[in-house]
Amino acid sequence: MAIAYISHYDCQLHDMGHHHPEQPARLSAINDRLIATGLEMVLHQYDAPLATRAQLEAVHDPAYVDEVFNASPEAGIVWVDGETAMNPHSLTAALRAAGAVVLGTDLVMDGRARQVFCAVRPPGHHAERRRTMGFCLFNNVAVGAYHALNSHGLQRIAIVDFDVHHGNGTEDIVSGDARVLFCSTFQHPFYPHSGYADTAANVANAPLPAGSNGKVFRAAVEEHWLPRLEAFAPELIFISAGFDAHQAEDMAGLSLVDADFAWVTRRMCEQAERSAGGRIVSTLEGGYELHALARSVEAHLKAFLGDN
């Protein structure tokens, strides 16, 4: 069955300034790599639709959604928090990013794709129910997950997050919802300085000390994620795919390599085969060193194809 690749040119128009690490060139680097490796030819490509207000409000407070819409500038750049800015195209890009995960959910649930990768920006996993954070406006993966619950009638959804930063926004949204299992690995102590204290019963956090390599990461996944996923038996797995834990990143302190992202992707594919009919929807989160990002996405997609 096909692997779907969802993106949109609008996501490249979101620009927070020349020196901001979350830059349009991230998507260009991924696209160039897919062309160079021939992966582009085996992916079924879709344009991301715009998420609806109802889909956003399933995970965000309506007043917060209004705040984001109202902050959208007609010209220039407006900072909505200390790390996150909007230009005139940012709102549309954010709606496309969330809408991509909704479409990805529909594709796997309708049997039109087996796995999906959403190459979108801005990222989403720091966006809380009522707050922007860390380059994120709407929580893309949560929007997709609750679309699966509300529109497709699923009862057990897993969200796994292997970004170098804790997915505080996703945890804020899903915490206490027994229908959702949230599994996360991240560097600690590190921004956003969350995820290490007591958590809800449906959360499996695995903080990693700075300098952790693939061996440490894989051990954490095997200890903290895999038994919980096996017992939970999710009907659909979402991946917040953050590639900024790569050793080439100079803004963080973990030391993963391309093969580690392939390894964890294969473990998620194995679980999906057992409980979810193989269904996985993955969406881009972090990853700012362009060459490492592009190679890591290549490894992630090849793992879906069974090449790793």
Q: What are the DSSP calls for 155-206, one per residue?
A: S-EEEEE--SS--HHHHHHHTT-TTEEEEEEEESS-TT--SSS---TTEEEE
How many Å apart are CA 163 and CA 179, to the nearest integer? Answer: 22
Q: Map residue 52 onto helix, strand or coil.
A: coil
Long-range contacts of 216-220, Cβ-Cβ distance < 8 Å, separation of 24 or more: 217/162, 217/185, 217/245, 217/254, 217/256, 217/260, 217/264, 218/260, 218/263, 218/264, 220/185
What is the predicted pLDDT for the residue at 146? 98
**Full domain range(s) for residue 148:** 3-304
Half-sphere exposure of 281 (CA within 13 A, CB side): 34
**DSSP assignment letter at 162:** -
What is the predicted pLDDT for the residue at 215? 98
**What is the chain's pLDDT, residue by residue, as a tens digit (308 residues)?**
689 999 999 999 999 999 999 999 999 999 999 999 999 999 999 999 999 999 999 999 999 999 999 999 999 999 999 999 999 999 999 999 999 999 999 999 999 999 999 999 999 999 999 999 999 999 999 999 999 999 999 999 999 999 999 999 999 999 999 999 999 999 999 999 999 987 899 999 999 999 999 999 999 999 999 999 999 999 999 999 999 999 999 999 999 999 999 999 999 999 999 999 999 999 999 999 999 999 999 999 999 999 75
Q: Which residue type does 89 have? A: H
CA neighbor of 160 nearest in space, from 244, 272, 287, 304: 272
**End-to-end CA, the chain:** 18
Q: Cα 212 to chain center, whole Å? A: 21
What is the predicted pLDDT for the residue at 1? 65
What is the predicted pLDDT for the residue at 197? 84
Quick one: how many helices (H) and strands (E) in the chain?
A: 11, 10
Decide: residue 118, CB within 10 A, 0-12 exposed, 13-18 middle, 19+ buried. buried
- Whether the model pTM is above 0.95: yes
> Domain tally for the chain?
1
What is the predicted pLDDT for the residue at 308? 58
What is the predicted pLDDT for the residue at 199? 85
Which residues are tagged catalytic? 126
Residue 168 maps to which CATH number?
A: 3.40.800.20
Q: What are phi and psi of 305, to 5 degrees?
A: -80, -5
Radius of gyration over alpha carbons of the chain, in Å? 17
Q: What are phi and psi of 76, to 5 degrees?
A: 75, -160
**DSSP assignment letter at 133:** B
Given a contact cutoff of 8 angstroms between Cβ atoms, the answer to whether 242 and 285 are in contact is yes
Question: What's the token pair of residue 273?
Answer: 């085969």
Given a contact cutoff of 8 angstroms between Cβ atoms, the answer to whether 249 and 290 are in contact is no
